[in-house]
Amino acid sequence: MRRHTRKGPRLLLGFAVVVSGLVIAGLSAVLWVLDVAAKAPNIEDLKPVDPGASSKILAADGSTLTYIRSEVNRTPVGWDQIPVVLRNATISIEDERYYEHSGVDWIGIVRAVIRDIQAGGAREGASTITQQLVRNLYIEDPTDDLTRKIVEAKLAEELEERRSKRWILEQYLNTASYGTVNGSTAVGVQAAAEMFFDKPAKELSLREAALLAGLPQAPSEYNPLNAESKQAALDRRNEVLEAMARLGYISSASARSAEASGLGTDPGDKYTRRREPFFVGYVEDALINKYGSETVREGGLVVHTTIDPKLQELANAAIADSQASLHLSYGDTIPSSAMVATTVNNGHIVAMASSANPDAPEFNLAAQGRRQPGSAFKPFVLATAIKQGADPDATFYDGTPTSLDVGGPEPWTPQNSSEGEGGVISLRTAMVDSVNVVYAKLGLDVGNENLTETAQDMGITSPLFSYPAEAIGGLNTGVTPLEMSNAYATFANGGLHYKPTAIDRVEFPNGEVDQLDEDKPERAFSDGVAYAMVDVMKGVISSGTATQAGYGCPAAGKTGTTDDHADAWFVGFTPKMSTAVWTGFPGATLSLAGYNQGFGGTLSAPIWRSFMYPASNGYCDDFPAATEPVSYLPFFGEHAASSGSSSDETTTTATTDTTTTDTATTDTTGGYDSGAYAPGIQGPPETAPPDLPIQPGQ
């Protein structure tokens, strides 16, 4: 008799085994999830990632010069600066049950799983806004795996227990990424609004808010500024509008009206726009040197600078007018000019201008262009001599070229600009007429090391080597307009020197303020020496080589013209402001002789005048008298023709031995034929300056 196989019990047993396996697997999965969650850190133990913020540079009047360029553009804004329509649009497309869940939307997760199964693959995420914020702030280098999602969910629930819904939404809208344009990513709604619509977030319309709300899910795929993704961006925006209407945030009619409109993008340049690029570059370099690149570019600094927009505009105009005049007379090949103006009583840089290409500001002629100063260096020699007791009216030198023993293998023979010029003249006359040989001899008599000390005390920071040729501008590396402007300010400030500063203060996001202009002045020499120098240098403008700088108010200064007229300088000052102007060909030593005679008094002095006259704004006071006038000593310079004092008084202000001679025992002139570094007895320019307009109120 055949036995029949009993299939039922076997099937039941197999089914039971399978079910048991599934239950065990499910329990194991649950236990694993609980274990991962238990091992996850508590949110209060985590330090949130600093998403950074864009730093901005302000002018002295508070206007924005630029945002410092970075890979990330971000400007956090408060709740009141985020429009309701943008908040609602974000909730509608990102997390429609935002106000109902406690950090994790379990209903949304189940719905997403079902839709993914129906679609045959992952199509819909289920991360809440809270989870996304946790990912942005608390999970470094997040990976797309189940462990991360479990940790993220745990932290999201903890965050909801500690923070309000308002706080979480505000933080999310300030940390979400909205896309990258030209290498910079907009993080947060403020940067996104500026990038895509050239307006702050608070001014966004419905269609604009809907477009931004749809971007964080796939910023590249939906980028409205890329031709390839414009249609996807439009479809995504309309999806947001439909969700808003379905959830009751807007009416169906409003949704249809907005859907019928275009994208409406208007790309903005707020984060890339740069006013005064040369000055801004100088400030950025100073900031990076002090704080480091990361802090400067992403630290959310607010940098208050010293630049005065009105004075900067005048400086730009003065140089532009000169360039236009040169172009009209000489065609396309014309020299460049650079200018720096600093305030006398604190060293603030109030204007920094250049005719070089502002679209390529990598090299700043005003702050980085080291050029030979020519006769503009002679005031440092005279100041050194007056410190030693020399009376500029009673100390005489023969300006006739002659060979000078400087302790080297060959004598040094400085020259004047023309043969036959020379004769015995006072130091004052030699300054006003810019006589080379006199100041070459005087430099030897006061001592090259002493000259170096004076120049450095006044603000010259470029390398000096105490070569004899430095007395008449034959420097090894040259000087910048910034240095010269700052150094001459010491004359106007009664012998007190302030270091130049472009930054007044830096504000940090935490409220701390770093005040950067608090350097105390250092005394280079007495106010008596300073006043004596001012008195001599006034003559350079009134009757000397810089008559084209005069505008009818007290001012003093010095021209400088170098070898073969390669550099033309005028550095001048009033009781309030010191300004240096350089003219030449950047990166070359081409002659300026064919351009307005090629002298500092004919090329740079008129630019100085065009700037300083309106910049004075009617101020016309004279320099204050010294509180400690100089009482001169007889000055027994080895190379002097005759030396003496204009009075019988003695002095206590002399700072060095009055019998000092050059102490150099090694090389010599530093390799310069300094005879041409400052053309000698020049006299006033051949042409008179144009009439000045009457200023308002005068």
**pLDDT interval class at 667 (50, 70, 90):** very low
Q: Which of 94-98, 402-406, 479-483 has the lowest mean pLDDT?
A: 402-406
* Residues whose CB falls within 8 Å of the CB of residue 201, separated by 6 or more in sequence, listed in order: 77, 81, 82, 83, 86, 189, 190, 192, 193
Residue with more model confidence, 116 or 329? 329
**pLDDT interval class at 4 (50, 70, 90):** very low
C-beta separation of 578 from 605 below 8 A: no
Q: Model-level pTM?
A: 0.84
Which of 331-355 are b and which e, b meaning 16 or more Cβ less than 10 Å from the residue's Cβ? Answer: eeebbbbbbbbbbbebbbbbbbbbb
Rounded CA-CA distance 540/537 in Å is 5
C-beta separation of 137 from 177 below 8 A: no
C-beta separation of 650 from 630 below 8 A: no
Which of 176-198 are b and which e, b meaning 16 or more Cβ less than 10 Å from the residue's Cβ? Answer: bbbbbbeebbbbbbbbbbbbbbe
C-beta separation of 137 from 48 below 8 A: yes
Rounded CA-CA distance 451/468 in Å is 10
Each residue's pLDDT tens digit, 253-282 = 999 999 999 999 999 999 999 999 999 999
Once rounded to an integer, what is the mean pLDDT over residues 583-596? 89
Q: Which of 254-268, 331-345, 410-424, 458-472 has the lowest mean pLDDT?
A: 410-424
Once rounded to an integer, what is the mean pLDDT over residues 470-497? 96
Once rounded to an integer, what is the mean pLDDT over residues 49-61? 93
What are the helix (H) ranges across 419-526?
427-432, 436-446, 448-458, 481-492
**Fold of the domain built from segment(s) 312-676:** Beta-lactamase (3.40.710)
Rounded CA-CA distance 604/572 in Å is 11
Q: Which of 96-105, 168-177, 357-366, 582-591 has the lowest mean pLDDT?
A: 357-366
Residue 151 has a pLDDT of 80
Class of domain 76-259: mainly alpha
Three-state SS annotation for 97-166: CCCCCCCCCHHHHHHHHHHHHHHCCCCCCCCCHHHHHHHHHHCCCCCCCHHHHHHHHHHHHHHHHHCCHH
Please give the share of the chain, as a percent, with pLDDT higher than 90.
68
Once rounded to an integer, what is the mean pLDDT over residues 219-244? 96
Residue 588 has a pLDDT of 78
* Domain residue spans of the chain: 76-259, 312-676
Rounded CA-CA distance 24/658 in Å is 103
Please give the share of the chain, as a percent, with pLDDT higher than 70.
81
Rounded CA-CA distance 198/204 in Å is 10
Residue 517 has a pLDDT of 80
Judge whether residue 46 has pLDDT over 90: no
Mean pLDDT of the chain: 86
Judge whether residue 11 has pLDDT over 60: no
Residue 126 has a pLDDT of 66
- Tokens 């016309």: give the residue: 620
Residue 111 has a pLDDT of 65
Rounded CA-CA distance 95/112 in Å is 12
C-beta separation of 53 from 300 below 8 A: yes
Judge whether residue 675 has pLDDT over 50: no
**pLDDT interval class at 658 (50, 70, 90):** very low
Judge whether residue 474 has pLDDT over 80: yes
DSSP class of residue 674? G
Once rounded to an integer, what is the mean pLDDT over residues 287-297? 94
Rounded CA-CA distance 469/465 in Å is 10
Which of 138-148 are b and which e, b meaning 16 or more Cβ less than 10 Å from the residue's Cβ? Answer: bbeeeeeeeeb
Residue 519 has a pLDDT of 81
State which H helix or E strand residue 299 sits in.
none
Q: Which of 163-172, 398-407, 519-528, 649-658 has the lowest mean pLDDT?
A: 649-658
Each residue's pLDDT tens digit, 119-153 = 554 444 568 999 999 988 987 765 556 776 788 88
Rounded CA-CA distance 639/406 in Å is 12
- Tokens 């360029």: give the residue: 69
Three-class DSSP category at 406: coil
CA 307 to chain centre: 10
The token pair at 440 is 């070459």
Once rounded to an integer, what is the mean pLDDT over residues 298-319? 97
